Structure 1
Amino acid sequence: MLFSELGLSEQLLRAVAEQGYQTPTPIQAQAIPVILQGRDVLAGAQTGTGKTAGFTLPLLHILQQQPIPQKPRPVRVLVLTPTRELAMQVYESVRTYGKHLPLFAEAIFGGVSINPQIQKIRRGTDIVVATPGRLLDLIQQQHLDLSRVEHFVLDEADRMLDMGFIRDIRKIIALLPEKRQNLLFSATYAPEISALAEQLLHDPVEIAVAKRNAAADTVSQLVYGIQREYKRELLAYLIGHGHWQQVLVFVRTKHGADRLCKQLIKDGIRCAALHGDKSQGARVRALDEFKTGAITALIATDIAARGLDIDQLPHVVNFDLPQVAEDYVHRIGRTGRAGAEGQAVSLVDPEEAHLLAAIEKLLKRQIPRVADTGYPRVSLESGNAKPVAARPKPQQTGRRAQPSGGKSEPGKRTSPRKPRRGNVSSAKPR
């Protein structure tokens, strides 16, 4: 199937072609026709499936076909996202595909001055992409009217619930007209999502383009069992020895992100930290530098990294395992996107054994372990999370570390030396 067969306008097809696309992804091929029909949609789609264009393209087409001459323009499409990064990405998608159309869009999120956003809203806009908190601020200050909204999109609904936005979402829904089209997108389906969908959607078309609560088949997953004190050293070695040019590293806390980034910089690895305490300017700059290759490693918390759109990201590392198993799927969904191959590496210490067990229960399979890491062996059996052997003698072999039941990985340590500061190529574990 081609985009030209989906019923989109000539202006939209031209914008799509200018981006180099001819064939829609599965989520786009399924979602675009039913959205054009005006149906409500419940879509199970993970990051990297093309879901954003799957709803922005048909909504732009509908607005184009049904113009409203009224000035200032009323808000006709409202897209809610959990984070400002995702809001900006949806907004950029609207701008990219709607550049040949006489339509206006605005992104509304916190962390920046509210006054410029107020001024833009007053001038009128067709589409608003927003995070719940800032949107409610504008509504409460009577700067934004949602009474003319015709299409409502709840993007990454599972993350919305994880972040505690359910009350805000319900407040916003109560302000919308009863007659509207509703689109709900979620990477995972917890019972709370099903309950929300039942309240929000009317006779929805259900679309699922990937196994629920599962990782993409194109992602190669590995676990390194290692004591926590050696994690940073192993990470530096994997990046340097493997000649990784781009890796997204997940940590559990903001402080942990800053600390790890400083340590990797001392190891000669260009990196930046991305978390909620960073200013919007700093976050945008870090992401731009990561995308252009100015930095090799982006150290991020789950909330900050949610919805990051990075084409062809080859490596994701779980420096800390997530507390919620579903977040593992979100994390590694950053790589192996749109059919491309990717690698997800988890550095798991004994105290995280129960988290690994929960992840594998969700995936319904065991993730391959790297049998010989060059470090003291640890048990990753939940409930028996203790080192099982003293530090072994360094092995002087050039063979690569072999994951049990998986592919060979660059990373067999040939020297017990500690990494020298500032030289990535020599960063080998002790």
Structure 2
Amino acid sequence: MSDILRLLTRSTTVSKAVAPPKQTTLITPAPPIPIAKPSSSSRKRKRKPSQPNDTNGSALTSIPIDAKVEKSSKKDKKKSRKKRKRDSDVNEETPVISEGHANLDLADIKSLLKLHKLKYTILATHGPTELLLNEKEPDDLKDESKDKKKAKKKKKASTEGGSTSESKYTTKPSPKLNQIFPNPIQSFDELQTRYNISKRLYENVLAQKFVTPTEVQMGTLPLLLDGIRDAVPELQGCDVDLMTVAPTGSGKTLAYAIPAINHIIRAKHEEGESYERGMRVIVLSPTRELADQIVNEFRKLLLGTGIRVIGMKKSMIPRDRRRSSRNLKEDDESGEEEEDSEYDDDDDDDDSDSDSHDDHIVSKSVSKKGMAVKSEIMVATPLLLLHAIQICPDLFPISKVNCIILDEADVLLDELFLSQTTSIISNLTSPSMSFSFWSATMPSSSETLATNLISSHPSVLNATKPRKLIRLITGIKDSSLPTIRQTITYTASERGKLMALRQLFSTSLKTPCLIFLQTIPRAQALHAEILYDLPTPNRIAVLHSNLSETARSKVMDSFRAGEIWVLITTDLLSRGVDFRGVNLVINYDIPTSVAGYIHRIGRTGRAGREGGMAVTYYTEEDVKYVRGIVGVMEKSGGGEGLQKWMLESLPKTSKEEKKELKKKGVKERRVGTGASGGEGRKSRISTKSGYDRKIEARKKAAIGNSKQKMIGGVDGDSDHDDSESEWEGLE
């Protein structure tokens, strides 16, 4: 009876997933069939279920169930392996870095550098021959190119019959072995966690609201700060010099300012009471405007650190010594045409406002020990600093300078500044010198000059360990920012340029605006022509190197304050100067080189700011020089309205034409705006007819002569001669 009730209760629970009941003793179970594990060779054959001759129900049901479980487990394993592989591939393309990203492996570092477009290359290894011969290659690089090296050795042994071990370290390594992969920083918090920089310096960085580093800061700070070189196999036991090529407005000043300040703070802490003030870091720039800007950036980071920065001024040199050196300076500057010089490195224009305070400033700056400069960081233009070192070695001691930074290095290594730059570097005798070169454009000639400068320096010749020059390229080399909208317009003639500019003023002018011209006379002529074209007066100004230092500073401050909307200038402001709010750059005259174009339009779109626009005008005389500009526009992806014929049909510029253009500019615009002859008419910036200019010239001459008659300084004959000469000048 109890068995019947149990059967009835089991029948009511059939709908539930319950295991079948166990067999009673009435039915004897069949012996289990052993299932062998499949081998690798017969895996496919063993997966098929076997069909035994035994018709026992339990045996028939047990075998397929086990086979299905085995199949499902294998499929799950395959799916999981594929999923893990997909996840690893995704992580390699877009690495997600956690807080402990300081210990990334090489694959993650490579993908991270590729994501931010950072490329490191060892350009050269300097040092005594015995040190280079003893230098060993890293094991991972040896394993990477082991087969290729064996093949090359076999070929050389068969052809030359000699070994290559002696010349292995003196020849240039292959490009693949030259590349290195340092671990970049991801946030400024790592400056204290990984590199342990000064707490006060770190607070000053955060006070400037710098949270996320730019690409150039991500790549350069690990190399310039201590603590990362031992992690890179190629840099173990070596000193490092750096050459950085990064777009304009990417934050290069901050990238070299932080390590320079941190090294001085550490030296001050290590030396303790024996620490003496004096120049330890020199920053060279091609223009005074850029030098003043660098000084301001350093001052923001030096608050509360006890370190000082100073910009080199002419007034720091005593007047009597400066006068005695004028003859030497004139010899150095002989042969250079003033109007063709793009940059201002002239320090002998005696401004009355600065000369009147010379004695007062010098008496303050000269200390009891006879030093004029007690600041650790000196920012200067090359010629002014060179004269100070040569004329006043007692006031400007440089024995403790162990770091030199070249901002806009391609200009400082060009013909205009090369002799001055090399002279300054040769005077630096510290055994622990370090070099760094910074620019948005770096031709191969500048790289060669930088390599030669380092290799011939006494600190390298007397070194106890090898020194490596590393080049970092951020983004695409020698290209502009893609966020800048670039247009190029054909105007046929000079009069067409002026009409196009006035049309732009009346339709789509975006202020603040910078207008670049080739020469100082042309900048002055354009300023006189469009001075009253804006509805509000006194909103247009001109800036060039012929103005006094006080006048230039006043114009710069007014432009930054928004009091001046349109600033007309030469290439004096084309490099390094930071105008964060510039919305429009107009190349009224085409630049003298492709690098000049990149730097000019880089005055807008600073620090990742979008909305900047660059307009370039060109005439019939400029057609043969336009191809390089169009190539930059196409390369950067910011060009608008580019047509296929512009990339294919425009004439190529020969090397001689490029050199001539870079040195003197377009030939038709070298003459003054008031010169006589056909070339003068072509280059004249004016919309007035020749007849109207003659009438105006005669009126001005008559007014001037009448004034002189009233004073009693001239007679009738000289009156006629002056009017005639004035008339001929404007003709």
State the TM-score, normalizing by the size of structure 2. 0.49
Compute the displacement of 1:363 (Å). 5.5
Which protein is bigger by CA-based radius of gyration? 2
* Preserved CA contact (<8 Å) 1:325 1:355: no
Matched, 1:184 2:449: no
Shift of 1:90: 1.0
Worse overlay, 258-267 or 354-363: 354-363
Structure 2 CA distance for aligned equivalents of residues 323 and 193 of structure 1: 17
1:258 aligns with 2:524: yes
Alignment match, 1:131:
381
- Determine helix, strand or coil for the equivalent of 1:284: helix
Query: Given the alignment of the two structures, is residue 213 of structure 1 paired with residue 478 of structure 2, yes or no?
Result: yes
Q: Which amino acid aligns with 1:79?
A: V
Quick check: 1:146 aligned with 2:398?
Answer: yes
Whether the aligned pair in 1 keeps the contact of 2:242 and 2:469 (CA below 8 Å) is yes
Q: Is the 8 A contact 2:485 2:640 kept in 1?
A: no
Map of 1:42 onto structure 2: 243
Higher relative contact order (CA 8 A, sep 6+): 1
- 1:206 is paired with a residue of what secondary structure? strand
What is the aligned partner in structure 2 of residue 394 from structure 1? none
The worse-fitting range, judged by mean Cα deviation, of 109-118 and 119-128 is 109-118
2:372 aligns to what SS in structure 1? helix
Q: Is the 8 A contact 1:271 1:297 kept in 2?
A: yes
Q: CA 1:246–1:267 in 2, change beyond 3 Å: closer, same or farther?
A: same
The answer to whether the aligner puts 1:10 opposite 2:199 as a matched pair is yes
For residue 301 of structure 2, what is the amino acid of its counterpart? Y
Q: Do the aligned residues in 1 keep the contact of 2:523 with 2:568 (CA within 8 Å)?
A: yes
Q: Deviations over 1:396-427 (max 9, x none)?
A: xxxxxxxxxxxxxxxxxxxxxx9xxxxxxxxx
Do residues 195 (structure 1) and 457 (structure 2) align?
Answer: no
Aligned residue for 1:62, secondary structure, equals: helix
For 2:381 and 2:274, how far apart are their aligned partners in 1?
26
Measure how far apart 1:203 and its partner are.
0.4
Q: Offset of 1:191 from its aligned partner?
A: 2.5
Instruction: Provide the rounded CA distance (Å) in 1 between the counterparts of 2:506 and 2:513.
Output: 11
SS in 2 for 1:147: coil
Please give the secondary structure, in 1, of the residue aligned with 2:541.
strand
Quick one: distance in 2 between partners of 1:194 and 1:51? 18
Q: 1:236 to 1:162 in 2, by over 3 A?
A: farther
Kindly tell me: are residues 123 and 357 of structure 1, through their superposed partners in 2, closer, same or farther at Cα, counting changes over 3 Å? closer
- 2:514 aligns with 248
In structure 2, relative to structure 1, the CA distance for the partners of 1:211 and 1:253 (3 Å cut) is: same
Q: Number of aligned pairs?
A: 376
Q: Mean alpha-carbon deviation: is it higher for 115-124 or for 224-233?
A: 115-124
CA distance in 2, matches of 1:118, 1:163: 36
Output the amino acid matched with 1:207: L
Distance 1:48 1:158 in 2: 17
What RMSD in Å do the two structures reach over aligned CA positions? 2.5
Residues 147-197 of structure 1 deviation map (CA, whole Å, 9 limit, x = unaligned): 111111111111223461111111111111242111111221222211122
Aligned with 1:343 (options 608, 613, 619):
613
Amino acid at match of 2:495: E
Residue 33 of structure 2 aligns with which residue? Answer: none
* Structure 2 stretches lacking a partner, 5+ long: 1-185, 227-238, 314-346, 366-370, 455-466, 644-648, 653-686, 688-731
Q: Measure the CA separation in 2 of the matches of 1:71 and 1:260.
A: 54
- Alignment match, 1:159: 411
Whichever residue aligns with residue 487 of structure 2, its letter is L
Q: Secondary structure in 2 aligned to 1:122?
A: coil
Match of 1:281 in 2: 550
- 1:78 aligns with 282
SS of 1:203's partner is: strand
Picking from 575, 587, 601, the partner of 1:332 is 601
Give 1:262 shift: 2.0
Counterpart-to-counterpart distance in 2, 1:118 and 1:104: 19
Residue 236 (structure 1) shift: 2.9
1:42 Cα offset (Å) = 0.9
Q: How many Å separate the matches in 1 of 2:363 and 2:310?
A: 10
**Cα deviations across residues 37-73 of structure 1 (Å, max 9, x unaligned)?**
2732110023211000100111111111221555761
8 Å CA contact 2:577–2:603 kept in 1: the answer is yes
Counterpart Cα distance in 1 of 2:522 and 2:642:
25
Alignment check: 8 A CA contact 1:80 1:129 kept: yes
Unmatched 5+ residue regions in structure 1?
A: 372-379, 384-417, 419-430
Aligned to 2:308: 104
Conserved? CA contact 1:322–1:328, under 8 Å: yes
Q: Is the contact between residue 316 and residue 332 of structure 1 (CA under 8 Å) also seen in structure 2?
A: yes
2:399 and 2:442 map into 1 onto residues whose CA distance is: 30
In structure 1, C-alpha distance between the alignment counterparts of 2:414 and 2:571, rounded to whole Å:
11
2:442 counterpart SS class: coil
Contact 2:279–2:376 (8 Å) recurs in 1: yes
Alpha-carbon distance in 1 for matches of 2:304, 2:311: 19
Equivalent residue for 2:213, pick from 12, 20, 24: 24
Structure 1 residue 93: Cα displacement: 1.0
Map of 2:496 onto structure 1: 230
Q: Is the 8 A contact 1:225 1:347 kept in 2?
A: yes
CA separation of 1:43/1:311 partners in 2, compared to 1, >3 Å: closer, same or farther?
same
Name the CA shift for 1:193/1:313 in 2 (closer, same or farther; >3 Å).
Answer: same
Distance, in Å, in 1 between the alignment partners of 2:569 and 2:364 is: 32
What does residue 389 of structure 1 align with? none
Deviation at 1:361, TM superposition (A): 4.2
TM-score calculated relative to the size of structure 1: 0.81
CA gap 1:46/1:39 in 2 versus in 1, 3 angstroms = same
SS of structure 1 residue aligned to 2:581: coil
Which secondary structure state, in structure 2, belongs to the residue aligned with residue 3 of structure 1? coil
How far the C-alpha of 1:33 sits from its partner, in A, is 2.1
Q: Quick one: structure 1 residues 370 and 264, their matched pair in 2 at CA, closer, same or farther if it must change by over 3 Å?
A: farther
**8 A Cα contact 2:578 2:606, kept in partner:** no
Q: Which residue of 1 aligns with 2:261?
A: 60
Q: What is the rounded CA distance, in whole Å, between the counterparts of 1:122 and 1:153 in structure 2?
A: 21
**Distance in 1 of aligned mates of 2:302 and 2:502:** 42
Given residue 42 of structure 1, which amino acid in structure 2 is its aligned partner?
A: M
Instruction: State whether residues 3 and 22 of structure 1, in contact with CA within 8 Å, keep that contact through their aligned partners in structure 2.
Output: yes
